[in-house]
Structure 1
Amino acid sequence: MTRARALDTKRIENMRLEKGETRHEWRDGKTPNLVLRVGRRDKVFILLVRCPGERDPTRLKIGTFPKTTLERAREVAAEWNAMIDRGLDPRQEAKRCEREAAVDERRTFRSALTDYIVWLPNKTRNRHAKKDAVALGTEFLDPNRNGWIDKALADVTKAEVGVLIENIRGRGVPGRALEALELIKGFFAWANGAARYEGYGLPGNVTGNPVADITPASMELARGIRTRTLDVAELRAYWSASTAMAYPDGPFYRLVVLTGGRRRAELEGIRWSEIDIGDKLWTIPKERVKHGNELLDLYVVLTDEAIALLEELRRGQPEGWGDCIFSVTNGETPYTGYDLDEFRARVVEEFGKLVPGSTMDSFWLHDMRRVVQTALSKLGVPDVIADYINGHRKRRDYNQDRFIAPCREAMRQFTDRLMLVLDGSAAGFRAADPNSKE
């Protein structure tokens, strides 16, 4: 039998079918079992071989020329020939490799963290699930910030996590660094859970958690104690700016104050079905209350001013409006797009009109909680009542009172004095001296 000539790239390029042919095969004289099958449309490298356990020869496709080069085809053919000599079927080996690759991919940090982010809403306390998911994705799933994003989870080191946290602090946001550390510790604790660690290729002991012994103190990270509050001029600027802003922003910022310094998440989700106009009461479901597991549903008393603002909003909403009070989708979903930077700029502008030549420090909406709590204290409201109005964690005792009557009286005192402060009739909230600026 004449030995087949070794194929070469130039020869393959020039191969054509004879008239009337639909397919022709040329063997490679250099690599056993390697065949080039030339058809009307393409030229395909195949391995013509009898696989283990089969009686007849099988054509195993290697690739199409020129995408698969002759050199690559010979490499694959040699690998498959060796497998067959060992009694292995290349097709089954390919499937096994694909399965192993899928498992390896699942065990990467990127894949595991993505699983965790999807799982976050299932946490027992998940009010911050959306915010936490954004923070984790921003800090840990950005290849420009995380160079080990596609590393096997089991191979991620304490040093690598530490450097990433240090880099966050290096951007001038130590609070964000502390938050990132707490979040990544929560992720690794989750991944090392009894029902998960094997799936992620972890050893199931403390060595599978590289951040187990990293503490905020060891990284010199501490949560800052914020003391910012707004003085009388700043509060007047806040109110003036919010009054000038259209719905939903302006009314939202005013209602924050009129409802006792409500947390943003609590007020964003406010619904008409939660409001009892007759009893002047707003019931926030415990699922939207920060300490809902202790406070349960939170009862927020509504003063005449708060009721008037809500009724004004109701009149401005067309027939068929949904349940959400603050919404840009006809009440179907709550609005969450408040631009605090824009609002701050408006407040600073109003402050400049009230106190020419002075500057105003930046503030957060959460600082209004400190404004209200401090004002209630100056008005002589007992701490237990002020704490409930603010929605603070409840002291562990047997008192299950919701303090509706005393809260109503306290909010009446606060709002009456607030209106006097805003129109300039009172210089501050000190009950004993209405002219005191304290």
Structure 2
Amino acid sequence: MTRARALETERIEKFRLEKGETRHEWRDGKTPNLVMRVGRRDKVFILVVRCPGERDPSRLRIGRFPETTLERAREVAAEWNAMIYRGLDPREEAKRLEREAAVDQRRTFRSALTDYIAWLPNKKRNRHARVDGVALESEFLDADRNGWIDKALADVTKADVGVLIDNIRDRGVPGRALQALELIRGFFGWANGPARYEGYGLPGNVTGNPVADVTPGSMELERGVRTRTLDVAELRAYWRAATAMAYPDGPLYRLVLLTGGRRGNEAKGIRWSEIDIGNKLWTIPKERVKHGDELLDLYVVLTDEAIALLQELRRGQPQGWGDCIFSVTNGETPYTGYDLDEFRARVEQEFGKLVPGSVMDSFWLHDLRRVVQTALSKLGVPDVVADYINGHRKKRDYNQDRFIAPCRKAMRQFTDRLLLVLDGSAAGFRADDPHTDE
């Protein structure tokens, strides 16, 4: 029998079927069992071999030419020939390797953290699930910030985490670094749970948690006490910018202030079904209240100005609008895309007009809560009422009052003085003299 001639790339390119042929095969004289099969539409490398446990030869597809080169086809054929010599079926080995690759992929940090973020809403106390998930994605699932994102979870070290946390702090956001450390500690505790550690390839003991003994103190991180508030000129700039800004951002920022410095998530999630226009009351369900386990549903009294803003929004929404007041999906889902950076820039621009030559410090919406709490104190509102308006944690006592009547009086006082501050008629919130804040 004549030995087959070794295949060459130039020859393969010229292979053609004779008239009447539907398929033709050329054996490679260099690599045992390697065959080039030429059909009407393509040229394919195959291995013609008897696999373990089979009586007849099988044709195992290696790859299509030219995507699979002759050199690569010979490499694969040699690997498969060696497997068969050892009693292994290349097809079963390929399936096994796919399974192992899938397991390895699932055991990476990226995969495990993605699982954790998806699980967060199932957590017993999960009011911050969305915010925590966004923070984890931003800091730990960004390949530009995290160089070990695709590392096996079991191989992530304390040093890996420590360097990443240090980098966050070095960006000038130590509070964010502290938050990131707390979140990643929660993740590793979850991943090492009795029902999960094996699935992620962890040993099931303390060595599987690289941050088990990492504390804020060991990272030289501490929670700062924020004291930022907005002065009269800044409040005026804030209001001007919010009034000029289109829906949904502008009205959202105005409502936050008119309802006593509501937390951003409370305001963004507001729904028409929560509003009682007749009784001028907004009931925030406890599931969206930060301290809902203690405060339960939070009752927010609505001033005439807040009601007028809501009615303005209602008139601007078309028929068929859903329940969410602030939304870009026709009311079906709450608005989550507000850009505070853009709003800050607008506020700073307005501040520059009011106080030429001055630069306004950066602020967060949460700083308005200090504005409201301080203003209520200056207006003589009792602390227990001011705390309820702000949705602060309730002291453990027997008083179950929701303070609706005193809150209504306090918010009327606050709003009346706020309007005077905004139009320049008052210098501050002190109750005894509208022209001084001393």
Q: Is the pair's TM-score, using the shorter chain for normalization, greater than 0.5?
A: yes
The aligned residue for residue 42 of structure 1 is: 42
The aligned residue for residue 259 of structure 1 is: 259
Distance (whole Å) between structure 1 residues aligned to residue 44 and residue 359 of structure 2: 76
The aligned residue for residue 70 of structure 2 is: 70
The aligned residue for residue 387 of structure 2 is: 387
The aligned residue for residue 335 of structure 1 is: 335
Q: What is the TM-score of this pair, normalised by structure 1?
A: 0.90
Q: Which amino acid aligns with 1:226?
A: R
How many equivalent residue pairs?
438
Distance (whole Å) between structure 2 residues aligned to residue 25 and residue 290 of structure 1: 72
Distance (whole Å) between structure 2 residues aligned to residue 364 and residue 305 of structure 1: 23
Distance (whole Å) between structure 1 residues aligned to residue 67 and residue 337 of structure 2: 50
Secondary structure of 1:195's counterpart equals coil
The aligned residue for residue 347 of structure 1 is: 347
Distance (whole Å) between structure 2 residues aligned to residue 414 and residue 249 of structure 1: 23
Contact 1:228-1:363 at 8 Å conserved across structures: yes
Distance (whole Å) between structure 2 residues aligned to residue 315 and residue 8 of structure 1: 76
The aligned residue for residue 290 of structure 1 is: 290
Correspondence 1:100-119 to 2 at 5 A: 100-119=100-119
The aligned residue for residue 167 of structure 2 is: 167
The aligned residue for residue 277 of structure 2 is: 277
Correspondence 1:35-434 to 2 at 5 A: 35-434=35-434
Closer/same/farther in 2, CA of residues 326 and 142 from structure 1, 3 Å limit: closer
The Cα of 1:304 is off from its aligned counterpart by 2.8
Contact 1:192-1:202 at 8 Å conserved across structures: yes
Gaps of 5+ in 2: none
Q: Which amino acid aligns with 2:193?
A: G
Distance (whole Å) between structure 1 residues aligned to residue 209 and residue 88 of structure 2: 38
Q: Which amino acid aligns with 1:186?
A: G
Distance (whole Å) between structure 2 residues aligned to residue 254 and residue 146 of structure 1: 38
Per-residue Cα deviation, 1:274-295 (whole angstroms, up to 9, x for no partner) = 1112222110111211111221
Distance (whole Å) between structure 2 residues aligned to residue 238 and residue 20 of structure 1: 83
Distance (whole Å) between structure 2 residues aligned to residue 267 and residue 412 of structure 1: 20
Secondary structure of 1:262's counterpart equals coil
Secondary structure of 1:45's counterpart equals strand
Per-residue Cα deviation, 1:128-170 (whole angstroms, up to 9, x for no partner) = 3333333322322222222222211111111112112222222
Distance (whole Å) between structure 2 residues aligned to residue 151 and residue 366 of structure 1: 37
Report % sequence identity: 87
* Farther off after superposition, 184-193 or 100-109: 184-193
Distance (whole Å) between structure 1 residues aligned to residue 12 and residue 249 of structure 2: 71
Distance (whole Å) between structure 1 residues aligned to residue 129 and residue 252 of structure 2: 23
Quote the RMSD (CA, aligned, Å).
2.5
Q: What is the TM-score of this pair, normalised by structure 2?
A: 0.90
Q: Which amino acid aligns with 1:426?
A: A
Secondary structure of 1:398's counterpart equals coil
* Farther off after superposition, 332-341 or 374-383: 332-341
Closer/same/farther in 2, CA of residues 256 and 62 from structure 1, 3 Å limit: closer
Distance (whole Å) between structure 1 residues aligned to residue 169 and residue 126 of structure 2: 26
